[in-house]
Structure 1
Amino acid sequence: MRKLCPNLDKEDGLDTVLEVPIPEEMFNSMGSNAMLRWANLRSFMKAQSHVDRSSNGKSHFSSRSNNEFMALLKLVGSPLIPLQVHCDNALTRPIKDCSIEASTAKYIVQQYVAATGGLAVLNSVKSMYAVGEMKMVGSEMRQGDDSVHVPTKGNSEVGGFVLWQKNPDLWYLELVVSGFKVSAGSDGKVAWNQSGSQPCHANKGPPRPLRRFFQGLDPRSIANLFLDAVCIGEKTINKEESFILKLETPTEILQSQSTPQTEIVHHTIWGYFSQRTGLLIQFDDTKLVKMKSRYDNVFWETTMETVIGDYRYVDGINIAHGGKTSALLYRYGHAFNQKRRIEETWKIEEVDFNICGLSMECFLPPADLKREDGGDQ
Structure 2
Amino acid sequence: MPQKLLNKQTQKHSLSLNQSMKKSLDILKMNEKELLEAIRDLTSSNPFLDYHPGKDLNAMLEESFALPVSLKEDLYLQLHTLRTPFDRKVCSYIIESLDDHGLFRESIETGSTVMQCSETHFASQLRVVQSLEPAGVGARSQLESVLLQLERMGETDALHLMKTYPEALISGDLCMIREQEGWSYPRIEALLGVIRSCQLNPCHAYNHTRAELLLPDFEIIRHEDSVDIQLPDSGTLSLDQSSAESVKQDPVFRKYLEEAHFFVDALSRRKVTLLVLMNALVEHQKNHFLYDDELEPCTLQDIAKETGVHESTVSRTLSNKHYLWGGTVHAVKDLFVSQTRGGTSRDSVLKSLQAFIRSEDPRHPYSDQDLADQFEALGMEVSRRAIAKYRGQLGIPSSSRRRKK
TM-score (ref. length: structure 1): 0.20
| Greater Rg by CA | 2
- Comparing both structures, which one devotes a greater share of its residues to strand? 1
- Comparing both structures, which one devotes a greater share of its residues to helix? 2
Return the structure number with greater relative CO, CA threshold 8 A, min gap 6.
Answer: 1
TM-score (ref. length: structure 2): 0.19
